[in-house]
Structure 1
Amino acid sequence: MSPPTLIDQPSTVATAPVALSYELFPPRSPAASETLWATIRELEATDPDYVSVTYGASGSNHDTALDLVDRLQLETTLRPLAHLTCVGGTPEELSRIVNELLDRGVRGILALRGDQPKDGHVPPGALRYAQDLIELIRRVELRRSAQFAAGKVAIGVAAYPTKHPESPSEGHDVEVLLAKQRSGADFAITQVFFHAEQYASLLHRARRAGVTIPLIPGVMPLTSLRRIEKLSALSGVSPDAAFVDRMRSATDEAEARRLGVEATVALAESSLDAGAPGLHLYTFNEHASSLDVLTRLDLPRPARPSLAARRRSTLS
């Protein structure tokens, strides 16, 4: 009988830290920029692993997105994960943008298809799917790999706890996710979901199909009924009817906020219990609700130098 390997030995390793990240979007005005940077400073104090920076359809906010990425790297300790959409873009255009991101020090890209053109027309030779963009990023990376000290670009993708609006089935969505993994995706962040069982179901279906990359639940603080209803209309994902009724019956904003935080905490805890490796919070450039949720969750996080020490190191 062979002696047991280290893998067979009882684990004495402490609980793995839970990954934490936020989504931000580039400001559209000076006033919005001021509000965003107040939020950034508050979120920075929670020591997230990264913050994602959204990218408008067809690069509509290209310059402001890059400005935000630059400021995050120059003025904070935060690591940006740059969104990049591809549908309708040529390989030449997208290679230029990927190279520009790498030149600016970005080492994480969220590769997304983006919204289809309103007229449905995609120019000949243009990219159509996120899988195409992943492969393009890997080709650019290969040409520049000597610069990365044996490192690599981290590529994230989207995952869907409920059926994508354009998909024939949830099974098809999992096959697409598996194809993204085969093309070189490192992790996935889910779109918003409202029911606890939806993330657990996605994780179960994906693992059975052979998806092994981390699937990080994207959670929106459920403190604004207007935002919940708007997002539900856009995504086709229905919120819990009983929760919506409680929010509508709230006597004031403070009670609605309390109900929303409780529901968000329950959603996050159920995802972590199902095996989620982290949480990605859709902040809508606001920090108060996200911080309320984090206070209630008390996530195990890595032990790192203080924010003041990291700022001194970043800015020196």
Structure 2
Amino acid sequence: MSPPNLIQTHPLHTVSAPVALSYELFPPRTPAASDSLWKTIKELEATNPDYVSVTYGASGTNRDTAVELLNRLLNETTLRPLAHLTCVGNTAEELAEIVTDLLENGVRGILALRGDHPRDGSLEHPPGSLHHAQDLIELIRGVEQRRTALLCAGRVAIGVAAYPAKHPESPSQEHDIEVLLAKQRSGADFAITQVFFHAGQYADLVRRARRAGVTIPIIPGVMPLTSLRRLQRLGDLTGVEPVPELVRALASADDDGERRRIGVQATVDLARAALDAGAPGIHLYTFNEHGAALEVLDKLQLLRPDRPTFARRRATPLSASVLAG
């Protein structure tokens, strides 16, 4: 029998990775919302997250404000942005230009999404448009391959969506897992789940995914469950009923303070269940508000590594004209 090699015997080989932490932000719609968002960003930056994701509307409906937010994150903070990108309504040529601009200006993480179809059916697919996230992943890898010198032979981190409950348009949960496996085969590095409300849903998703051959990290996306209106709206969008006991507790709370305490504790319980099931990280959907997210983080008591305190400065901003298609 051969002796163990240095990697096998080195003590660092057995050290567990810290739990990853990330937040989701969306581009502000008004100057007042922008001021509020930047207060939130500064508060979240102090927790040393591993990255923050920036949403991007289907067909790039918030393209200019998304570009501006990405630019400011790169120029004015130490935060690492994960840029959402949707392919619905865009041609392969347009998407390649967008990806190129993102990479050349310092973005090193992209969340590749199909994007939602408008419910009124108003969206038209131009010739040469992409229809699936899997196609977008392959396009990103193609752009990356042509720019290995720029990336120092590195790789772009590509994330995708995963669904603890059945996707509203999917025929079955089994089909969702097949799609996730196909995304992995096309080059996805990790997945972030859509919102879920029941503690066992994350563990069940991971179990089914691993059985099917999915090996990439699956990060639970957790929403602070403090708003009854938001909870009900997301339940309608996802087709998943929120926990009835939580809905009743929020509805019968005497004031906003009590509602917040109830919702934060429910969120902590959901996140802890995911961590107990082996989740490699927590992704918090902030809705551009830091208060409840920080309370959840405080109660979870996740250890955070120190990060550099200096802000990165860039000479060339992302080009809104290029992203404008």
Note the aligned Cα RMSD (angstroms).
1.8
Does the aligned pair in 1 maintain the 2:78–2:310 contact within 8 Å? no
Provide the TM-score with structure 1 as the length reference.
0.94
Query: For structure 1, which runs of at least 5 residues remain unmatched after alignment?
Result: none
For residue 139 of structure 2, what is the aligned residue in structure 1?
136
Q: Deviations over 1:10-46 (max 9, x none)?
A: 9774432000000000000000000000000000000
- Structure 1 match to 2:234: 231
Query: Once superposed, which parts of structure 1, at least 4 consecutive aligned residues long, lie more than 6 Å away?
Result: 6-12
Amino acid at match of 1:31: A
Alignment: residue pair count: 311
Letter in 1 for 2:39: A
Deviations 1:122-172 (A, max 9, x none): 333210000000000001001111111121111000000000001010000
Aligned to 1:314: 312
Task: Write the mapping of 1:188-199 to structure 2, written as runs, cut at 5 A.
Answer: 188-199=191-202
Indicate the SS of the match to 1:84: strand
User: 1:259 corresponds to which residue?
Assistant: 262
Matches within 5 A, 1:122-271: 122-271=125-274
Instruction: State the match for 2:81 in structure 1.
Output: 80
Q: Read off the aligned partner of 1:311 and give its amino acid letter.
A: T
Structure 2: gaps of 5 or more residues: 315-325
Out of 121-130 and 191-200, give the one that drifted further.
121-130
CA distance in structure 1 between the partners assigned to 2:206 and 2:248 by the alignment: 29
Give the match for residue 323 of structure 2: none
Contact 1:16 1:300 in 2 (8 A): no
Cα distance in 2 for partners of 1:222, 1:130 equals 28
What is the CA distance between 1:311 and its match in structure 2? 3.4
Structure 1 residue aligned with 2:16: 15
- 2:102 aligned with 1:105: no
TM-score by length of 2: 0.91
Check 1:48–1:271 CA distance in 2 against 1; reply closer, same or farther (3 A cut). Answer: same
| Distance (Å, rounded) in 2 between the aligned partners of 1:120 and 1:102 | 28
Q: Percent identity?
A: 68
Deviating more after overlay: 35-44 vs 8-17: 8-17
Deviates more, 1:247-256 or 1:68-77: 247-256
8 A contact 2:89–2:123 mirrored in 1: no
Matched with 1:70 is: 71
Tell me the distance in 2 between the aligned counterparts of 1:120 and 1:44: 37
TM-aligned CA deviation for residue 253 of structure 1: 1.1
Which amino acid letter does the alignment assign opposite residue 253 of structure 1? D
